Amino acid sequence: MGRVLMIGAGGVATVAAFKIAQNADVFTEFMIASRRKEKCDEIVKAIGNPNIKTAQVDADDVEQLKALFNDYKPELVVNLALPYQDLTIMDACLECGCNYLDTANYEPKDEAHFEYSWQWAYKDKFEKAGLTAILGCGFDPGVSGIYTAYAAKHHFDEIHYLDIVDCNAGNHHKAFATNFNPEINIREITQKGLYYKDGEWIETEPLEIHKPLTYPNIGPRESYLMHHEELESLVKNYPTIKQARFWMTFGQQYLTYLDVIQNIGMSRIDEMEYEAPLADGSGKTAKVKIVPLQFLKAVLPNPQDLGENYDGETSIGCRIRGIKDGKELTYYIYNNCRHQDAYKETGMQGVSYTTGVPAMIGAMMFFKGLWRKPGVWNVEEFDPDPFMEQLNKQGLPWNEVFGEDLEL
């Protein structure tokens, strides 16, 4: 049915590749391209399908991307590299007539700033080119928006209160590790909190607001209010929302490490000079520029290697309060995903799994012609029903609870 090119060969991309390969009736031709071709080849080897093609590309370089797109001619480019590459990949898609899908909003490298404005600015260009761009199709953002769209379509006349709750109750048995790209993860968590209330955005200190929330099959976990990009599109697309917040759980040990990392300056994202030994073995040194957080990433455990010893599960969902037929209704929709199940199927842990599976389903929706309209769209702007059906079939089944106390 379709020719897809995936960019990136990290944890999320590995899961998406397994799932694309499992759905070969939809994805008839498949190429993986990343900064290092050998990582793409490793994925192909793990899947065991030599028909999957691989290529090297620096996705920061529009000319390299154009050469690749013109050569392979994908109908859809699935961007599972880093948020820094969103705009270069969108530019190359426009120039080569390719459609686009990603899982995280664009971030400039020198500024941890989470908003859709840069990518929404491409709406006219994609519309004029007759191309579809699907933004934020992981779990959160991604399934969180699709759950909200499903609730709005089937259960509510008006949504008033939306709380997205993201719990990782897993244990990887490392002193400190992040569950996805450490640089992107630490940038996100050390930012100020932000939530929406009565038409205004309210800023908090990083992780200032927190409370225990009870997660299904897990129990109570301390949950911290954070800014998360999907709140921006959801309050725009559902104007009846009075309050929208995002909560994520962290263990005390994780937060202690994070404090130390910040206090010793290792979370800095600006360049600094470092006197480094020359590679020629002469013992001489030279000044080089490093970004402390990128250096820290190099010494932290690779999230792709956490799966084997990861036990426990994730639980991510939406807790919604609103009105149906004039009466107040509470609704909770969620998925629980066991790290070991994800590992057995794809060799990756649950956080990569819960992101890579929705990315594949979004691509499937595109190829089936169900999510295809010229312009730049957030996931909640498409019909949620066929996507929800696939979640149940592709390894991320969902559960609904009506009329219970949401604790929020």
Among 17, 114, 134, 138, binds ligand NDP (CB under 6 A): 138
| CA–centroid distance for 283 within its chain | 43
Q: How far apart are CA 195 and CA 225, in angstroms?
A: 8
- Counting every residue written for the chain, the total comes to 408
What are the E-state strand segments in 295-406? 313-324, 327-338, 375-378, 399-402
The answer to whether 306 contacts ligand NDP (rule: CB under 6 A) is: no
CB of 65 to ligand NDP, least distance (A): 9
Rounded Cα distance, 78 and 121, in Å: 19
329 binds ligand NDP (CB under 6 A): no
Establish if 13 lies at the interface with ligand NDP (CB under 6 A). Answer: yes
Question: Minimum CB separation from ligand NDP for residue 5, in Å?
Answer: 12
Both tokens of residue 107?
């971030």
Q: Which of 2, 8, 170, 384 binds ligand NDP (CB under 6 A)?
A: 8
Q: Is the peptide bond before 141 cis (omega within 30 degrees of 0)?
A: yes
Q: Are 139 and 15 in contact (CB under 8 A)?
A: no
Residues 56-85 that bind ligand NDP (CB under 6 A): 57-60, 80-83, 85
Query: Can residue 5 be called a binding residue for ligand NDP (CB under 6 A)?
Result: no
* C-beta separation of 101 from 378 below 8 A: no
Q: How far apart are CA 263 and CA 36, in angstroms?
A: 33
CA gap 394, 262 in Å, rounded:
39
**Which one of 18-26, 176-184, 214-222, 307-315 is the stretch in contact with ligand NDP (CB under 6 A)?**
176-184
Q: What is the smallest separation between the CB atom of 114 and ligand NDP, expressed in angstroms? A: 10
Nearest residue (CB) to ligand NDP, 139 versus 156? 139
Q: Which is nearer to ligand NDP, 102 or 329 (CB)?
A: 102
Pick the closer one to ligand NDP by CB: 9 or 131. Answer: 9
Q: Is 10 in the site for ligand NDP (CB under 6 A)?
A: yes
By CB under 6 A, residue 39 contacts ligand NDP: yes
The 333-372 site mask, x for binding ligand NDP (CB under 6 A), equals ----------------------x-----------------
The residues, any chain, with a CB within 8 Å of residue 389's CB and separated by 6 or more, are none
Which of 11, 145, 292, 307 binds ligand NDP (CB under 6 A)? It is 11
Q: Which residue spans within 313-378 are E strands per DSSP?
A: 313-324, 327-338, 375-378
- What is d(CA 64, CA 266) in angstroms, rounded to the nearest whole number? 32
- Nearest residue (CB) to ligand NDP, 34 versus 346: 34
Determine phi and psi for 404, rounding to 5 degrees: -100, 165
Which of the ranges 70-78, 140-148, 196-204, 383-391 carries the binding residues for ligand NDP, by CB under 6 A? 140-148
Residues 6+ apart with CB under 8 A from 166: 139, 140, 246, 247, 248, 249, 314, 316
Q: List binders of ligand NDP among 109-128 (CB under 6 A).
A: none
Binding flag, residue 19, ligand NDP (CB under 6 A): no
Nearer Cβ to ligand NDP, position 23 or 335? 335
Measure the CA–CA gap between 196 and 232, rounded to whole angstroms: 9
Element (H, E) at 202: strand 200-204
Residue closer to ligand NDP by CB (options 15, 241) is 15
Binding footprint of ligand NDP on the chain (CB under 6 A):
7-13, 34-36, 39, 57-60, 80-83, 85, 103-104, 138-142, 180-181, 184, 303-304, 355
